[in-house]
Amino acid sequence: MDIEAVRADLLALQHRIVRALETLDGQRFIRDVWQRMPDEPLRGEGVSCILEGGALIERGGVGFSHVQGDALPPSATAARPQLAGHAFEALGVSAVLHPENPYCPTAHLNVRLLSATPHAADAARPVFWFGGALDLTPYYGFEDDARHFHRTCRDALAPFGETLYPRFKQACDAYFFLKHRDEPRGIGGIFYDDFSELSFERGCAMMQSVGAAFLDAYLPIIEQRRHVPFGARERAFQAYRRGRYVEFNLLFDRGTLFGLQSGGRTESILLSMPPAAHWRYHWKPGPDSPEARLYRDFLRPRSWL
């Protein structure tokens, strides 16, 4: 495993995303370079890029991290109990964008590589696996946007097997789901975890392809919707739906749980949070309203191809 080559690819991906978003927004990201001390439970370093109060992006984060620890946290060994207590290394890039305009959806990307080193008494070689997600959370749905997003996800996975998009699409629908509300977070995309079916080299290539698809999937949607007029009603609904985003990330998101359980850097872990969110008691959108259409036509798993 060439970890240094993966690190270089991920840093290059972060740089491309940040530069493209800066061009789109017109405002620069703040670049926060951080490092964990060698005597801490979680060691390593990263770069957190954050933009707040931009012309288009109300809050956006694009983060890179490369960390090592002495024992995998429970969130990482649920599907691999034989690795509990093993030393690990993890590196990846994540991006979450919350535009100000409610007609522009929130988008999320995560690609990562994890490896675990068996105990000295074991003869096995280090174990590796990949994880990732590319998903869209609209507040006002547009079928053209959903079809474009899912086509881009499918095309990113096509070189690695024709069954991957249907599998990862179904996994995404199941994962980004608020069980306590019986409600999806958005219109899905792709999600995979504990994935090691390909060789290390092919797995890295797939990770690069998914990462590169983020801009192709998202930028055309933003460019199409960024100038749609909106008012207080649309902003209020956006804040209400952002509350669902917060609930999912704090209750279910494996990346958030992994970071917090392993003693990660809290500010970087919570880059995904929106700048503001609202909750209303027993609120329902009016029948046949644009807000009701989101629930009726978009927030249920369906084929978008």
pLDDT reported for residue 47: 95
- For residue 295, pLDDT over 80 is answered with yes
On whether residue 30 sits in a domain, the answer given is: yes
On whether residue 203 sits in a domain, the answer given is: yes
On whether residue 246 sits in a domain, the answer given is: yes
Domain span including residue 142: 3-298
pLDDT reported for residue 89: 86
Among the listed residues 108, 119, 148, 278, the single catalytic one is: 108
Mean residue pLDDT of the chain comes to: 91
On whether residue 177 sits in a domain, the answer given is: yes
Distances (CA, A) of 242 to 14, 106, 185: 25, 9, 9
On whether residue 287 sits in a domain, the answer given is: yes
pLDDT reported for residue 65: 93
Closest to 285 (Cα-Cα) out of 188, 140, 146? 140
pLDDT reported for residue 36: 76
Closest to 99 (Cα-Cα) out of 107, 109, 91? 107
For the ranges 115-119, 266-270, 282-286, the lowest mean pLDDT is seen at 115-119
Catalytic-residue membership of 108: yes
> 116-133: per-residue pLDDT in tens?
876 555 556 678 889 999
On whether residue 303 sits in a domain, the answer given is: no
H/E stretch holding 24:
helix 3-25
What value does the mean pLDDT take over residues 261-275? 81
In one-letter notation, the amino acid at residue 268 is S
Pairwise CA distance, residues 270 & 60, whole Å: 11
- For residue 17, pLDDT over 60 is answered with yes
On whether residue 124 sits in a domain, the answer given is: yes
Residue 146 is part of a domain; what is its CATH number? 3.40.1500.10
Number of domains in the chain: 1
236, exposed or middle or buried, with CB in 10 Å at 0-12, 13-18, 19+?
Answer: middle
Pairwise CA distance, residues 243 & 281, whole Å: 12
pTM of the model: 0.91
Pairwise CA distance, residues 94 & 33, whole Å: 15
pLDDT reported for residue 42: 72
On whether residue 305 sits in a domain, the answer given is: no
> 52-96: per-residue pLDDT in tens?
999 999 999 999 999 887 777 666 666 666 666 677 889 999 999
Distances (CA, A) of 27 to 50, 53, 54, 291: 11, 9, 6, 31
